[in-house]
Chains A and B, each alone.
Chain A
Amino acid sequence: MTMESKIVIQVNNVNVWYGPAQALKDVSLKVPAKKITAIIGPSGCGKSTFLRCFNRMNELVPTARTEGEVLYHGQNIYANEVNPVEVRRRIGMVFQKPNPFPKSIHENVAWAARINHLQSNGRWKNTELEQLVETSLRKAALWDEVKDKLHQSGLSLSGGQQQRLCIARAIAIEPEIILMDEPASALDPIASLKIEELMRELSKNYTIIVVTHNMQQAARVSDYTAFFTLDEADRAGILVEHGPSNQIFTNPRDERTEGYVTGRFG
């Protein structure tokens, strides 16, 4: 598959186990920069596990073991000398269920940015922080709705607004890549479409990798799509096909992909 864009992350032969059970087998994939790559496939085929490979979140599961390479700008993020916290600063994550901090809208964005800034620079001007909060909320298409109530609790917002707040929070630490694990599945259709619009806007500046169960959403929003399924022999998750979304949804090469996108997967 030819990619017009630069590759920002390259996955080479990644395998993941939870204890003795293999969750992912031999996955290799190139993720183009500033594009949206969707990950689709049936339940239990390792999509979220794969997503968490990009920011070493699987390590938070005690029984998880990862082998293989995830090269971020050519450097393996699983190398011994690499700090996973630093990885997670550059590669942010948004989850299915919006999870704002039980703090004000302002603090949801500012807190993470403050911690991030302290770790790297040590000093902070108030005006810079306020600008960062506003910029992040604008980029998350939430500023106009919350600018007059920044000190209200983040939990007072609607589900869709909370999710956009989480996106603003993720953006505030200035990542390069944003991982999204079914970001719209807990939202109503209108809020869901707003998240899609936001994703398209964000992809001008960020690389986005999104897991979704919603085929039409994947088709609408993504530039590239990777289809995963369970290997028939050992039930580990495998990557079947990866290509431009237009091609995956109109003329997939593999019959398993065809079976899934046409809804005939048994």
Chain B
Amino acid sequence: MQLSPARQKLDHQLGLLQEDIVTLGEMVELAVRKAVEALKRRDVRAAQLVCTNDQSINDRRYDIEIEGLILIATQQPMARDLRLVAAILEINTELERIGDYAKGIARITMLLKDENVIIPTGKFQRMADLSLSMLSRALKAFVAQDADAALQIPREDDQIDALYNQIFKDLMHKMIAEPATMEHSNYVIWAAHNLERLADRVTNICERVVFLVNGEMQELDITDCESES
């Protein structure tokens, strides 16, 4: 079937929005890496920078949202175009939330200052590397509109959950052994929780990619509530 060039403007605008999403993804990925690095090194100044830079992530998120709404109003996209714009708006929100997680980790570094607390840096780094790898591949699947790739990525969430559970147990033991560390150990658990939630956001992004391609909403969160221990 011959396609007409009649929607060049729409295609151009959609392309720009997709690029904006990729850029936002790179911004939040960098924020998470810097936040985790600052936590490992107990670097309060580096953490403050992450917090401050979150505003640029928020600004970019709003820009994308407004551009998406303008596109809907002026171009009346239908079918796959419409699903693409919907996916862009949803992924936009998910990425901004991931940016908030980076900020949350940074704030915890600032709260901890130089307190005596265990930070399982190896496991933190591993969680960050895994979850950001998932994010990067989810955004590639989005750009390529590859539902098959998107379907596979959430399965890796198990590894993230396992690392989180280990961190949780390590710190629970610490809190029980040294109750004075309870408050600060709790902050470290929250930092790990932010990384665990990051992976959940990636699952949401993958669901959006599947919906974009197939037009069907599919729950990709494989957590079984009854077997959760």
A residues adjacent to B (C-beta < 8 A): 215-216, 219, 249-252, 255-259, 261-266
- Asked if B81 is at the interface (CB within 8 A of a chain A CB), the reply is yes
* Given A250-B215, A255-B1, A259-B1: A264 touches B6 (CB 8 Å cut-off): yes
* Given A261-B78, A263-B6, A264-B7: A250 touches B83 (CB 8 Å cut-off): yes
Q: Are A251 and B1 in contact (CB under 8 A)?
A: no
Q: Are A262 and B1 in contact (CB under 8 A)?
A: no
4 additional contacts (CB under 8 A) given A261-B78, A263-B78:
A249-B79, A255-B1, A262-B7, A265-B4
- Nearest residue (CB) in B for A248 is B79
User: Which residues of chain A come closer than 8 Å to B216, judged between CB atoms?
Assistant: 251
What's the nearest-Cβ distance from chain B to residue A20, in Å?
27
User: Which residues of chain B come closer than 8 Å to A261, judged between CB atoms?
Assistant: 78-79
User: Which residues of chain B come closer than 8 Å to A215, judged between CB atoms?
Assistant: 76, 78
- Asked if B30 is at the interface (CB within 8 A of a chain A CB), the reply is no
- Asked if B2 is at the interface (CB within 8 A of a chain A CB), the reply is yes
Whole-angstrom CA separation of A265 from B1 in the bound complex: 8
Q: Are B76 and A216 in contact (CB under 8 A)?
A: yes
- Nearest residue (CB) in B for A255 is B1
Q: Are A262 and B4 in contact (CB under 8 A)?
A: no
Interface centre among A249, A250, A259, A264 (most CB of B within 10 A): A264
B residues adjacent to A (C-beta < 8 A): 1-4, 6-7, 10, 76-83, 215-216
What's the nearest-Cβ distance from chain B to residue A266, in Å?
3
User: Which residues of chain A come closer than 8 Å to B79, judged between CB atoms?
Assistant: 249-252, 257-258, 261-262
Interface centre among B1, B7, B79 (most CB of A within 10 A): B79
- 19 A–B contacts, CB within 8 A, in A order: A215-B78, A249-B78, A249-B79, A250-B79, A250-B82, A251-B83, A251-B216, A255-B1, A257-B79, A261-B78, A262-B78, A262-B79, A263-B10, A264-B3, A264-B7, A265-B3, A266-B1, A266-B2, A266-B4
What's the nearest-Cβ distance from chain B to residue A90, in Å?
35
User: Which residues of chain B come closer than 8 Å to A263, judged between CB atoms?
Assistant: 4, 6-7, 10, 78
A interface secondary structure, majority = helix
User: Which residues of chain B come closer than 8 Å to A262, judged between CB atoms?
Assistant: 7, 77-81
What's the nearest-Cβ distance from chain A to residue B89, in Å?
15
Whole-angstrom CA separation of A264 from B8 in the bound complex: 9
What's the nearest-Cβ distance from chain A to residue B13, in Å?
13
What's the nearest-Cβ distance from chain B to residue A253, in Å?
9
- Number of A-B contacts defined by CB within 8 Å: 48
* Given A249-B79, A250-B78, A251-B83: A259 touches B215 (CB 8 Å cut-off): no
User: Which residues of chain B come closer than 8 Å to A259, judged between CB atoms?
Assistant: 1, 3
User: Which residues of chain A come closer than 8 Å to B76, judged between CB atoms?
Assistant: 215-216
| Pairs of residues from A and B, 4 with the lowest C-beta to C-beta distance, nearest first | A251-B215, A266-B2, A261-B78, A266-B4
User: Which residues of chain A come closer than 8 Å to B2, judged between CB atoms?
Assistant: 266
User: Which residues of chain B come closer than 8 Å to A250, judged between CB atoms?
Assistant: 78-79, 82-83, 215
- Nearest residue (CB) in A for B10 is A263
- Nearest residue (CB) in B for A258 is B79
- Nearest residue (CB) in A for B215 is A251
- Nearest residue (CB) in A for B2 is A266
User: Which residues of chain A come closer than 8 Å to B82, judged between CB atoms?
Assistant: 249-250
What's the nearest-Cβ distance from chain B to residue A216, in Å?
6
Whole-angstrom CA separation of A257 from B3 in the bound complex: 12
What's the nearest-Cβ distance from chain A to residue B98, in Å?
27
Interface centre among A251, A255, A259 (most CB of B within 10 A): A251
What's the nearest-Cβ distance from chain B to residue A247, in Å?
8
Whole-angstrom CA separation of A265 from B4 in the bound complex: 6
User: Which residues of chain B come closer than 8 Å to A257, judged between CB atoms?
Assistant: 79
Whole-angstrom CA separation of A175 from B213 in the bound complex: 44
What's the nearest-Cβ distance from chain B to residue A235, in Å?
15
Whole-angstrom CA separation of A219 from B80 in the bound complex: 15
- Nearest residue (CB) in A for B82 is A250
What's the nearest-Cβ distance from chain B to residue A245, in Å?
11
What's the nearest-Cβ distance from chain B to residue A10, in Å?
28
Whole-angstrom CA separation of A255 from B78 in the bound complex: 13
- Nearest residue (CB) in A for B78 is A261
What's the nearest-Cβ distance from chain A to residue B57, in Å?
30
